[in-house]
Amino acid sequence: MESTSSRIAAACSIRNGVQTRSLSLILSACRWPPRLPLLATLALASVLSLSARAVSAQAEGLSLRQAVENALGQNKQLAAFRHRLAEQDGRLQQAGLLPNPQVDLLFENLGGEGVYAGFQSAETTLSIGWAIEPGIRGRRVGVERARSARTHLDAQILQLDVAAETAQRFLSCLESQAHLKATAEAVALGERTVAAVERRVRAGSAPNAELMRARAALATERLAHDDVTHERSVAYHRLAAEWGEKAPSFSRVDGELLDLPTLASFDDLAARIERNPQLTRLASEQRIAEAQLRLAKARRWPALTPTLGARKFQITGDWALVAGVSVPLPLFDRNQGQVAESRAKLARTRADVEAERIRVRTTLFELYETMQHSLHRVEVLRSEVIPRFEETVDEMRRGYEKGRYPYYELATVQADLLAARRSVVEASTAAHRLVITLEQLTGESVSR
Predicted local distance difference test score (pLDDT) of residue 162: 86
Angstrom distance (rounded) from CA 10 to CA 2: 11
54 confidence band (pLDDT: 50, 70, 90): very low
Q: Average of pLDDT values for 356-371?
A: 85
Angstrom distance (rounded) from CA 218 to CA 282: 57
Q: Average of pLDDT values for 438-442?
A: 74
Q: Is the pLDDT of residue 285 over 80?
A: no
Q: Average of pLDDT values for 165-183?
A: 91
Domain boundaries, the chain: 4-442
Q: Average of pLDDT values for 407-427?
A: 90
b or e along 300-321 (b: 16 or more beta carbons within 10 Å of the residue's beta carbon)? eeeeebebebebeebeeeeeee
The more confidently predicted of residues 89 and 297 is 89
The more confidently predicted of residues 425 and 140 is 425
58 confidence band (pLDDT: 50, 70, 90): very low
Q: Is the pLDDT of residue 304 over 50?
A: yes
133 confidence band (pLDDT: 50, 70, 90): confident
pTM of the model: 0.70
326 confidence band (pLDDT: 50, 70, 90): confident
Q: Is the pLDDT of residue 20 over 50?
A: no
Question: Percent of the chain scored above 90 by pLDDT?
Answer: 19
Highest mean pLDDT among 13-17, 78-82, 187-191: 187-191
Average pLDDT, the chain: 77
Q: Average of pLDDT values for 235-246?
A: 91
Angstrom distance (rounded) from CA 344 to CA 285: 13
Q: Is the pLDDT of residue 262 over 70?
A: yes
Lowest mean pLDDT among 48-52, 220-224, 226-230: 48-52
3 confidence band (pLDDT: 50, 70, 90): very low
Predicted local distance difference test score (pLDDT) of residue 191: 93
Predicted local distance difference test score (pLDDT) of residue 34: 34
pLDDT tens-digit profile of 328-355?
Answer: 766 666 667 777 877 787 888 888 888 8
pLDDT tens-digit profile of 143-160?
Answer: 888 888 888 888 888 888
Predicted local distance difference test score (pLDDT) of residue 442: 72
204 confidence band (pLDDT: 50, 70, 90): confident
300 confidence band (pLDDT: 50, 70, 90): low
Q: Average of pLDDT values for 117-131?
A: 79
Q: Average of pLDDT values for 292-311?
A: 73
Q: Average of pLDDT values for 359-385?
A: 88
Predicted local distance difference test score (pLDDT) of residue 39: 38
Predicted local distance difference test score (pLDDT) of residue 237: 94
Q: Which CATH class name applies to 4-442?
A: mainly alpha
